[in-house]
Amino acid sequence: MSISLDNSKYLEFKISFKQDNADFLENKMTAERAEQIFGPNWQNIIESFTSSIDQKFATRNYIFKNKEGRTSAGSITLGWRFELVNKSGGGLSGLANLTPEQVLEVYAGRKLAASKKNAIVNGRIIEDSGVANCMINCDVSSLQSIQDAIDSIISIEDFAQNNPNVYFVCKALNYRSFDDKIEGNRPLSVFINWEVVDNKLVPNLVYSNPLLTKGNEVRDKLKESLNLLKISNTNDINEDNFASFQIVN
């Protein structure tokens, strides 16, 4: 939205709208986006986050013979995606302790690739058209008029300064053994290296090199190990062929 002024200058409002109840700030983080936010040391930063809650990873169920919450029966965990949210996500979550510059990048997206921040209108590239400089953060039902919306606008810099707390959360990516499917080939911040040791399936957590290993690669290694043990799905997993049966639901 641009407003013509008497002195022929323009004010440009590029507004990001977020509902009050919207948690996600960065969904299904990629290595590219992580570097844009955290800088060249992004892998060490993410590894420090995940290592700080390593006991939570180590004590979770990885194999689900039975349904648990939204996790369907027959699921086997491959690893965990990395996401940023504006409130604690419980479970595998913690305060990210971002710098003011990093918080601003999360909200504004100034370092995004050109394809994600530049719109093309009638064949003309509108540079930075997708980079917000203003924010409206409210329940949409509270906006009864255009004036209400205008009154709710705050600069993106002020919003970032007023909302400095950003949390990381790790969401499980599972292999559904009954369907032979996974929930997308997502980059993983922590993954499970499923190996066969002494004729038993053994899960090993890997925290290093986050977001460079994706779901398909981990699934293929898991299926290779399952085939060696003649396991078709979670119904075939038992104390004789799985080394850590205490993490089975």
Q: If you average pLDDT over residues 95-114, what whole number do you get?
A: 94
* pLDDT for res 12: 80
Q: If you average pLDDT over residues 106-123, what whole number do you get?
A: 89
Q: Interior CA angle at 74 toward 221 and 53, to 5°?
A: 65
H-run or E-run covering 115: helix 114-117
> With pLDDT > 70 as the criterion, what percentage of the chain qualifies?
95
* pLDDT for res 188: 98
pLDDT tens-digit series, residues 53-64: 999 999 999 999
Higher pLDDT, 142 or 50: 50
H-run or E-run covering 18: strand 15-19
Higher pLDDT, 34 or 122: 34
Secondary structure class of 160 (helix, strand, coil): helix
Tokens of 48: 């420090």
Higher pLDDT, 131 or 225: 225
H-run or E-run covering 215: helix 215-228
* pLDDT for res 3: 53
